[in-house]
Structure 1
Amino acid sequence: MKVGEIISKFERKGFQIIGLKLFRPPKELVEALEGSSVVAAARKFIGATNPLKAEPGTIRGDFAIDVGRNVVHGSDSPENGFQELGILGLWFHEDELVEWEQQ
């Protein structure tokens, strides 16, 4: 898997990556994104949870082979996204997040 390719796909789509960690958490890898309608758009862009059902061109369709070894995690709601993002301190501390404008 090429991590840069996956990050580039999100950036080309127009999402802002405000937090990113590469580590092996107990259950899932979290990436934090912001954008208009980000949950619905990101989940469509990421692809079906089961990579065998994910459309070609999606992250999971192109890079994943098995549900238990997903290459990216997508929150299922804004509320869960905020929780996973670390508003409650689960994955990121507030000082680890950045704000930027896409050029």
Structure 2
Amino acid sequence: MQRTLVLLKPDCVQRALMGKIISRFEEKGLSIVAMKMLHVTPEMSREHYAEHVEKPFYPSLEEFITSAPVVAMAIDGLDVISVVRELLGATSGLKAAAGTIRGDFSGSRQMNLVHASDSPESATRELKIYFPEGACSYEQASKDFLRACDE
């Protein structure tokens, strides 16, 4: 099992797509073990996007991510990092395949609705930013019908 961070970005919240996108993760059989709505502060943005702070596009990224609330989620599942990234599709909604979240709902590179951790190391670092209090792990009652016992 892995855990990853997923952020429903300001464009997702403002376009009222939260429920549709959350349902994609639940329908896949992933477990949401923590969730909250919050305003990302400039300090949180700099910590989250530390590798981009010195890049020319960073000011517009910070302006966007702090412009409206986000919904942060900690999600558990087998190979959840790669599974979530496949569900999202390519970074640019214009290049994302139909059937993916970005392919179905986004037409932008920056306003692409959702952020997801790209590695176990990123997930650990990002989860500490958004969920310093930890998560509420549980076992889904339907787990026996989601995968074989040896998976």
TM exceeding 0.5: yes
Task: Specify the SS of the correspondent of 1:60.
Answer: helix
How far, CA to CA, are the matches of 2:132 and 2:120 in structure 1? 18
Alignment of 1:15 onto 2:30:
yes
- 1:71 aligns with 113
1:93: Cα distance to partner? 2.2
- 1:55 aligns with 97
Q: Normalising by structure 2, report the TM-score.
A: 0.59
Higher RCO, Cα 8 Å, sep 6+: 2
Report sequence identity in percent.
41
How far, CA to CA, are the matches of 1:99 and 1:46 in structure 2? 23
How much is the aligned-residue C-alpha RMSD, in angstroms? 1.7
Residues 23-62 of structure 1 correspond to what in structure 2 (within 5 A)?
23-25=38-40, 26=45, 27=62, 28=65, 29=70, 30-62=72-104
CA distances 1:1-58 after superposition (whole Å, capped 9, x unpaired): 3211110110010111112222342445543211111111111111111111111111
Task: Specify the SS of the correspondent of 1:39.
Answer: helix
Q: Which moved more, 1:48-57 or 1:14-23?
A: 14-23
Is the strand fraction higher in 1 or 2? 2
Q: Normalising by structure 1, report the TM-score.
A: 0.83
CA distances 1:76-98 after superposition (whole Å, capped 9, x unpaired): 10110111111xxx111225x21
Structure with max Cα Rg? 2
Aligned length: 99
Alignment of 1:3 onto 2:18:
yes
Task: Specify the SS of the correspondent of 1:21.
Answer: strand
Contiguous gaps of at least 5 residues in structure 1: none
Contiguous gaps of at least 5 residues in structure 2: 1-14, 46-61, 142-151
How far, CA to CA, are the matches of 1:75 and 1:65 in structure 2? 21
Task: Specify the SS of the correspondent of 1:11.
Answer: helix
